[in-house]
Chain A
Amino acid sequence: DQQVKQNSPSLSVQEGRISILNCDYTNSMFDYFLWYKKYPAEGPTFLISISSIKDKNEDGRFTVFLNKSAKHLSLHIVPSQPGDSAVYFCAANFGNEKLTFGTGTRLTIIP
């Protein structure tokens, strides 16, 4: 039972354009959502998070949007840079329950 889903395994975006990564969830109890970035041979690193009381959180080039009614969140990266090429995982949890991760989306930024 995949409670957090990333339906696009890969995405290619031209440098300078906007990258939009999507994530859907099924558990309505989730109230905290996170995005992680992973380079090869490294552990995932935390990127940005959002609480369910908000619908948007911005940090520099990264913005996460949350649509609770649709159980959908997205990560926008603008402008995209070559160093953004990585695998991106979304994750969710509630209370002190464990984080549940999606399967990841491989983002490739084309110079």
Chain B
Amino acid sequence: GAGVSQSPSNKVTEKGKDVELRCDPISGHTALYWYRQSLGQGLEFLIYFQGNSAPDKSGLPSDRFSAERTGGSVSTLTIQRTQQEDSAVYLCASSLVVHQNTEAFFGQGTRLTVV
């Protein structure tokens, strides 16, 4: 596809369960971001992958959160032992970075509800 694709679009899970969220970035984009937006809040940065550099994990809220990007393409965000405060829309974005960053393109997001 031409855009950033995220799956699933909606996920309802029970408290304490693990979830995996998937992001397929735009082909050829070297940078990939995960953000989340809780109800009524702004965009909260989670993690940033850029090429072969070590990811910037400074936004991950706890060690229950992890993400990987395999082969420089698809990324998976994993949340272990989910809590109700993890309920949010999780947004993935990708951008083409050569010498400088350019605009990032966002997916539609995954709405996670922890019950």
Contact = CB atoms under 8 A, between A and B. Distances in A.
Interface in B28-74: 31, 33, 35, 41-43, 45, 48, 50-51, 56
Interface in A87-102: 89, 93-102
Interface residues of A, number: 24
28 contacts: A32-B100, A32-B101, A34-B103, A36-B106, A41-B108, A42-B108, A43-B93, A43-B108, A43-B109, A44-B106, A45-B106, A46-B104, A89-B42, A89-B43, A96-B31, A96-B50, A96-B99, A96-B100, A96-B101, A97-B101, A98-B31, A98-B50, A98-B56, A99-B101, A100-B45, A102-B42, A103-B43, A104-B43
Given A89-B42, A96-B101, A104-B42, 6 more contacts: A43-B93, A45-B106, A98-B48, A99-B104, A101-B35, A103-B43
Q: SS class of chain A's interface: helix, strand, loop or mixed?
A: loop
Given A44-B106, A99-B33, A93 B45 contact: no
B45 A49 contact: no
Contact of A101 (B45, B97, B101, B103): B45
A98 B48 CA distance: 7
Contacts of A46: 103-105
B97 A96 contact: yes
